[in-house]
Each structure stands twice: as C-alpha cells, then as structure tokens.
Amino acid sequence: MNPLLQARGLMRRFGGVVALDGLDLDVAANEILGLIGPNGSGKTTFFNVVTGIYGADAGTVTFGGADITRAPSRAVYKAGIARTFQRSRLSLPLSIFDNIMIGNHQHLNQGLWFNLMRRKAFKREFEENYAAARALVEVFEPAMADRLFEPVAGLPMIDRRRIEICRALISAPKLLLLDEPSAGMTHEETAELMDDILLVRERNKNLTIIIVEHEMGVIERITDRCVVLNFGRKIADGPYREVAADPQVQEAYLGVA
C-alpha cells in the first residue's frame, strides 16, 4: 500500500547545522507514528518542512501521492495536514472558540458579502460551528465547554494544550502532527491527554498521527511504530520495543555518539 506521507532524501541546513540530513520516512495511512530522538535531532524541523514553514534544501515530500515539497503552509493545510506547535502558539487575547475556529478556516465561508450582509445565514453557520467546537472540547475537558467565549490568556498550560489539539482536529484532517503535546504537564495530565487523543481517533479511524514526544511511556503506549532521529538522520525504525533495544538508539540518547 502506498504511504500517506513520504519523505525522500530530505535535507535542511541552518548555516553550518544540518538539521535534516537526507531523511527518508514513510507514514502509512491510519497509523500512529512516534518520532523520537535526542534534543536537536531535527524532529521539529521535519514538521516545519512538511508544513511549509521552512523550505527543503533537497529531497521531496509527498502527501497522498501529491508533491508538497514546495507547497506554502496554507496549501499543506488544505491538503489535510494539521499540526500543533512545540511551544504553544495560541492567540492569547482571543476566546477559546475563536482559537478553535482558526483551525477550521477551510470550512468557513470567507465571502465578504456573506460575512457582512447575510447575517442570518452567517448565524446558522456560526451555530453549527459552535456545536462542533463544543462537542470536540467536551471530549478533552467538559468543564471548558461552557466557557468557550473566555479568553485563552487566563488558562493553565494543560487547557492550552487541549485547545491547540482541538484547533488542529476541528477541520477533520487526514494527518495530525503533534509536537510534544505533553510539554510542561505532569505525568497524570499527560496520561489524560493521551487518552483523549486516543478517544478522538477511536471515533475517526481514518486519522493518521505523527507524535513527537520525550516521554517514552507515552510513546510505548500509543504508537504503532517509531522512527528515531539523530543529527537529522533516521537511525532506527520499528515497534517501540525493538527500537528501544537498539544499541545505536541507546548510544544516541546517552550522547556517546
């Protein structure tokens, strides 16, 4: 079967630093892939190149067979890839609802006339989207569902992470890229968040996920397969138990390399 996402020979340098060094990576449809590796091994850079924030110096990325190597970010999103950011990038002065709706851009009617003059129709669209956002938030934190019009600024980190994930999920993407969703959270909070993510996927079996995570317990529990990066190269690929036992991987994590 053709992979959903495929990277071939992907290169990205920052000055003298080679962040991605000829990376080959396949992601099958419907799988949950763990992308792991020590700090600075190129995980976030991979997400940034896929989503068009950085260009690639060489190599290709295809998604569902189409070449997206040079596609701008908004085309990548339209193709069905949504993401979260390692450092939370919510719009703090805006409400929870607004932040989630930013993620639903392609399903909202953006016509000037519709938005300004057809307020009845706009209200209907608003109500449908309110219901969808509320249903999604209820999966993650029912207590937040009644407060969708409060600004994000006052919320604790765990709620912000939840909102970021809702923002990525609301448009029903084919591929979800999660960049350290548990950063800044406790063990218990992390476990809860992962359960919620699995619940969403339970409802939508077509969702493919790539998750970057430093907490190996999480990786072991939720991923079907892991790819290990070191200095921008793939050094191992397989089920978590296998890669964890790989001497090369252990060496990379101990920093002996």
Minimal distance in Å, beta carbon 16 to other proteins? 24
Q: What is the residue type of 89?
A: R
Residues 15-44 that bind ligand ATP (CB under 6 A): 17, 19, 37, 39-44
Sign of CA pseudo-dihedral 133, 138, 139, 140: positive
- Closer by beta carbon to ligand ATP, 14 or else 149: 14
- Closer by beta carbon to ligand ATP, 158 or else 229: 229
Residues 40-59 that bind ligand ATP (CB under 6 A): 40-45
Q: Is 134 in the site for other proteins (CB under 8 A)?
A: yes
Which three-class secondary structure string do you get for the chain? CCCCEEEEEEEEEECCEEEEEEEEEEECCCCEEEEECCCCCCHHHHHHHHCCCCCCCEEEEEECCEECCCCCHHHHHHHCEEECCCCCCCCCCCEHHHHHHHCCHHHCCCCHHHHHHCHHHHHHHHHHHHHHHHHHHHHHCHHHHHHCCCEHHHCCHHHHHHHHHHHHHCCCCCEEEEECCCCCCCHHHHHHHHHHHHHHHHHCCCCEEEEECCCHHHHHHHCCEEEEEECCEEEEEECHHHHHHCHHHHHHHHCCC
Q: Is 86 in the site for ligand ATP (CB under 6 A)?
A: yes
Binding-site ranges for Mg ion (CB under 5 A): 44, 86
Minimal distance in Å, beta carbon 50 to Mg ion? 13
Q: Is 93 in the site for other proteins (CB under 8 A)?
A: yes
CA angle centred on 232, ends 83 and 213, rounded to 5°: 45
Residues 183-212 that bind other proteins (CB under 8 A): none
- Closer by beta carbon to ligand ATP, 134 or else 233: 233
Question: Pick from 15, 16, 39, 112: which binds other proteins (CB under 8 A)?
Answer: 112
- Closer by beta carbon to other proteins, 80 or else 238: 80
- Closer by beta carbon to other proteins, 60 or else 171: 171
Taking residues 34 to 63 in sequence order and writing x for each that binds other proteins by CB under 8 A, - otherwise, the string is -----------------xxx----------
Minimal distance in Å, beta carbon 42 to ligand ATP? 4
Residue 17 interacts with, from other proteins, Mg ion, ligand ATP, none (CB under 5-8 Å by kind): ligand ATP
Per the DSSP assignment, residues forming a β-bridge with 227 are 35, 237
Using CB under 6 A, list all residues that contact ligand ATP. 14, 17, 19, 37, 39-45, 86
